Amino acid sequence: MTDTLILRCSTGGRPVLVMGAVPDAEYWLGALTLRTTLFRGWDAAATVPGVAPMERPRDASSLDEAVAGSVLVIILDEQAPELASVIRAARAANVPIWVPGRPEAGTAEPVLPEKRRPARQTADHPEQTVSATRAAGGTATGFVSLVGAGPGAPDLLTLRGLRTLQRADVVIHDRLVAASLLAHVPPDAERIFVGKRRSNHAVPQEQINQLLLDRAREGKHVVRLKGGDPFIFGRGGEEIEHLMEAGVPFQVVPGVTAASGCAAYAGIPLTHRDHAQSCVFATGHRREGELDLDFDGLVRDGRTLVFYMGLHSLQDLCHGLIKHGMRADMPAALVQQGTTVAQRVVTAPLSALPETVAQSGIRAPTLLIIGEVVGLRDRLAWFEGTREPMAWAENPDR
């Protein structure tokens, strides 16, 4: 729990209540005098003279009183245990709330907008303000969390990802998300499946972008849950670009990408002092039927290549690499449903891999790893799947 300090500073007889951890509060109070944000009827830039720590109110009514007697409440610590009651009291007494850097989260109306674009997030769990404001009966601009769900095993989600899911009002999820992760979402949260199956284009990207905006504008905390890491072949960049243009605040929670997950669970270190000094992530996905790859640029000694979405282009990928100078007997592996109980790994020399895979009955999703490091698997393999290929987060409504 953050060490919360409630400070009161006087501006010409009108006290301002500041809630925050000590260093933050000092920083912001210092910064206040320099900032140019003006509030209607109150000039924040002009005066912040004496600042005195207040006795932390012992009971709810003295806290309410302190809030009601203030001209403005500044919330720096969005994890403070008193947050919800402070918001409630401020609303009851009509005292404006200001969350520095996130004017949309409060009620104080700046004369000059702080910034047109959503402010950079600094608080530990910025989405909490949305929930706390709503818990206090108010409305806030919503908030979007773009969360990486990890590579498959549900417990490879980050701790931050889990906490974010637990605070979701809406979850918009993909196909490559372990179904059991949705169990962490509050039962009354809305769940929307927008996954794409290869042959069946589910929800087009523009519609997903719009959905994120619409739900956030309802004042909700929207979690966009995506397989692996949102910024690695995940179109996460496109999604936040839309949010940014629309001025909707967001955070990005990284995830364990398929390359790290699959390689670790297959016993293939992606880099190794003796075998690979670099590693490249590439896509085997075709655009308008064509592989859009610079094979010449990819083939280098001492480099591991990882291909996402490579199963359907496997033959062309292997041939292309050999044609551009890669050894035909370079060790290569295809990992099916890595990190899950259905993990399977097929290895072969590069030239023989397509044939070996064709005979193996391997199923998507798969990740292709090529390089000397694949040879280490013979000694380093430590994990084996135990079950049939699994269905991934099937749409419960389908």
Cβ closest to ligand SAH, residue 89 vs residue 172: 172
233 touching ligand SAH, by CB under 6 A:
yes
265 touching ligand SAH, by CB under 6 A:
no
Q: Which strand (E) or helix (H) includes residue 286?
A: strand 286-287
Residue among 94, 70, 64 nearest 7 (CA): 70
* Structure token pair of residue 74: 């500044």
CB of 373 to ligand SAH, least distance (A): 17
Cβ closest to ligand SAH, residue 220 vs residue 242: 242
Among 195, 228, 249, 269, binds ligand SAH (CB under 6 A): 228
Which residue has its beta carbon closest to ligand SAH?
Answer: 228
Q: Which stretch binds ligand SAH (CB under 6 A): 9-17, 66-74, 186-194, 365-373?
A: 365-373
257 touching ligand SAH, by CB under 6 A:
yes
262 touching ligand SAH, by CB under 6 A:
yes
Phi, psi of 379 (to 5 degrees): -95, -30
Task: List alpha helices for 51-97, DSSP H.
Answer: 60-68, 83-92
Among 77, 82, 104, 229, binds ligand SAH (CB under 6 A): 229
**How many residues line the site for ligand SAH (CB under 6 A)?**
22
* Euclidean distance between CA atoms 29 and 48, whole angstroms: 7
Interface with ligand SAH in residues 168-187 (CB under 6 A):
176
Q: Which stretch binds ligand SAH (CB under 6 A): 15-23, 221-229, 323-331, 372-380?
A: 221-229
Interface with ligand SAH in residues 193-212 (CB under 6 A):
none
Among 100, 106, 118, 234, binds ligand SAH (CB under 6 A): 234
DSSP for 196-212 reads -BTTB--S-HHHHHHHH
Give the number of C-alpha atoms closer than 13 A to the C-alpha of residue 330, restricted to the C-beta side. 26
* Euclidean distance between CA atoms 354 and 344, whole angstroms: 16
Region of residue 264 (left: phi > 0; alpha: psi -120 to 50; beta: else)? alpha
Show Cβ contacts of residue 355 under 8 Å, excluding neighbours closer than 6 positions.
348
366 touching ligand SAH, by CB under 6 A:
yes
339 touching ligand SAH, by CB under 6 A:
yes
**Could you tell me the CA-to-CA distances from 189 to 172, 182, 360 in Å, in that order?**
10, 10, 41
Any idea what DSSP says for residue 311?
A: G
258 touching ligand SAH, by CB under 6 A:
yes
Among this protein's residues, is 226 annotated catalytic?
no
* Structure token pair of residue 172: 């918009």
Any idea what DSSP says for residue 151?
A: S
Cβ closest to ligand SAH, residue 134 vs residue 226: 226
User: Which member of 24, 169, 174, 229 is catalytic?
Assistant: 174
Among this protein's residues, is 174 annotated catalytic?
yes
Phi, psi of 265 (to 5 degrees): -75, -15
Kindly list the catalytic residues.
174, 196
Interface contacts to ligand SAH, rule CB under 6 A: 151-152, 176, 226-229, 232-234, 257-258, 262, 308-309, 335, 337-339, 365-367
